[in-house]
Amino acid sequence: MNKFQLKLQLWVVLPALAAVLISLIILGISLYRLRLEEKAKPALVPHRNVAYNIKLDSLEISYSKVGNNQNLSDILSPYIEASMIDKIAKETGDVFDVRKMHSGNTFARLTAKDSTHRTLYFIYEINSIDFVVYDFRDSLRVYLDKKNVRVALKTASGSISGSLWNTFEKLDLDINLALDLSEIFAWTVDFYGLQNEDAFKVIFEEMYVDGRMIGIDRVLSASFRTGGREYYAFLLEDKGKKAYFDENGQSLQRSFLKAPLRFSRISSRFSRSRMHPILRIARPHFGVDYAAPHGTPVEALGEGRVTEAGWKGGYGRFIAIRHNSVYSSSYAHLSGYAKNIRPGSHVNQGQVIGFVGSSGLATGPHLDFRVYKNGSPVDPLHLESPPCEPVPASSMPQYKALMARWKPQLDKIKL
């Protein structure tokens, strides 16, 4: 075969190959678009017998999610008359206000399993458990309901590595459980002073809906080993109240929190002489600086009354609280104040009063936190706080039974 014949064959074959390649590309794009369209369609689930406590024998159900800036009218207008949608908005707000629908939340449409495919129910999920049902079968009926929740008993344990937050991430544990533990032991464990090899054990309940874990229900008992001491906590539910007590029946709650914000870093401690980072002179620092991201919520150390809330020179945005006749506390360099925080306001322990910032003389976002006893500054990290009321005598038999059940189980958990 000479060169001329080879070139001639190539001129014939190449266009054919190019046409085949283009056809394959077009086919691939078409199949990809088809898959996208199928994904965009509401998912049909015809094989389940019950959903939202409604029997599906003669119904089909499809699920979707509320889109950005989408409202009830946008969702229902293709299926329901405008007069009915208007009736829902105007007459059923006492059951659920449709203006509170959130983008990303799930909704479902239950239709007749016949040629009409008439919409018989519309369900909007308020959260993982609660939902509202719009029943269109006869006249409009609207009611709230709950999904069936299964509670499972779980245990977790671990040795501290870096911080409680880091430890939970490394162990792949629900970070909400870390928050629960930090609240339970907030008055007895210094979470900013944890050391490696400090350890925790916890018995708790997880909630499951439709086979999916949706969160932590309750921490039933826990222990925390730090500073060479083991701290215990047992949940007592009595007369509608929930509280945690130690193995001696003493309350774990104190009149003061250990710290006014969570999961931050101590950047400067209480000192009689510290080099000021801006003024560059040695001066006393009668407080603790907590470095934290801008906007981190700041909580009141304890119950009390706000005596100052405003700009205070180098302290920037500043709050002072009088807790009782002996103790007071202050919070400086804030970026802003929580709602209704002003001189004379009453605050509760743990109430958010402001947000971390860098106002005044500050090199970066942090909280300058100070505590005063009889007007004199004291080190917040060494503040002794008296406990609240112990287990009532009438509830002690119940509490001892709880301890007898949970303490041996806690002690058996391996780290």
Cα–Cα nearest to 200, from 181, 228, 219: 181
Q: Give mean pLDDT, residues 141-167.
A: 93
Written as one string, the DSSP assignment of 284-318 is EE-SEEEE--TT-EEE-SSSEEEEEEEE-GGG-EE
3-state secondary structure of 29: helix
Q: Is 269 helix (H, G, I), strand (E, B) or coil?
A: coil
CA angle (235 as vertex; 181, 383 as ends), nearest 5:
55
Could you tell me the two tokens for 153?
Answer: 């008993």
Whole-angstrom Cα distance, residue 148 to residue 363? 52
Distance, C-alpha 98 to centroid of its chain: 24
Q: What is the mean pLDDT of the chain?
A: 85
pLDDT in tens, 213-237: 999 999 999 999 998 899 999 999 9
The pTM for the full model equals 0.62
Whole-number pLDDT of residue 324: 82
For the domain 265-382, what is the CATH code?
2.70.70.10
State the pLDDT at residue 271: 61
Q: What is the mean pLDDT of residues 293-313?
A: 94
Q: What's the chain's Rg over C-alpha atoms? A: 31
Domain covering 44-146 assigned CATH 3.40.640.10 in the classification:
no
Q: Is the pLDDT of residue 5 over 70?
A: no
Indicate if the pLDDT at residue 262 is higher than 90. no
279-296: average pLDDT: 78
The closest of 270, 295, 274, 271 to 283, measured between CA atoms, is 274
The answer to whether domain 150-254+391-412 and domain 265-382 are alike in fold is no
- Distance, in Å, from the CA atom of 262 to the CA atom of 298, rounded to the nearest integer, reads 8
CB atoms within 10 A of CB 94: 7
Evaluate whether 403 touches 234 at the Cβ level (below 8 Å): yes
- In the 8-state DSSP scheme, what is residue 357? B
> Which CATH number describes the domain made up of 150-254+391-412?
3.10.450.350
Question: Which of 31-40, 346-355, 379-388 is the least confident region?
Answer: 31-40
Residue 371, helix vs strand vs coil: strand
**Phi, psi for 81 (deg, rounded to 5):** -65, 150
Strand, coil or helix: what is 19? Answer: helix
CB 258 within 8 A of CB 186: yes
d(CA 221, CA 380): 28
Model pLDDT, residue 275: 54
- Min mean pLDDT across 122-126, 192-196, 206-210, 214-218 is at 192-196
Q: Does residue 110 have a pLDDT over 70?
A: yes
Report, as an integer, the average pLDDT of 349-364. Answer: 93
- Helix %, strand %, coil % for the chain, to 5? 25, 40, 40
Q: What is the mean pLDDT of residues 143-168?
A: 93
Residue 300 has pLDDT above 90, yes or no: yes
CB contact at 8 A, 390 and 250? yes
Beta partners for 132? 124, 144
CA distance 278 to 193: 27
- What is the pLDDT at residue 125? 97
Question: Mean pLDDT, to the nearest integer, of 30-58?
Answer: 61
Q: Is 142 left (phi over 0), alpha (psi -120 to 50) or beta?
A: beta
**Please, what sign has the CA dihedral across residues 178, 181, 183, 185?**
negative
Say yes or no to pLDDT of 294 above 60.
yes
Residue 104 three-state SS = coil
Count CA within 13 A, CB hemisphere, residue 176: 11
* Phi and psi angles of residue 358, each rounded to the nearest 5 degrees, phi first: -140, 35
Which pLDDT tens digit goes with each residue over 359-403?
A: 998 888 999 999 998 888 998 888 876 668 899 999 999 999 999
Domain limits, the chain: 44-146, 150-254+391-412, 265-382
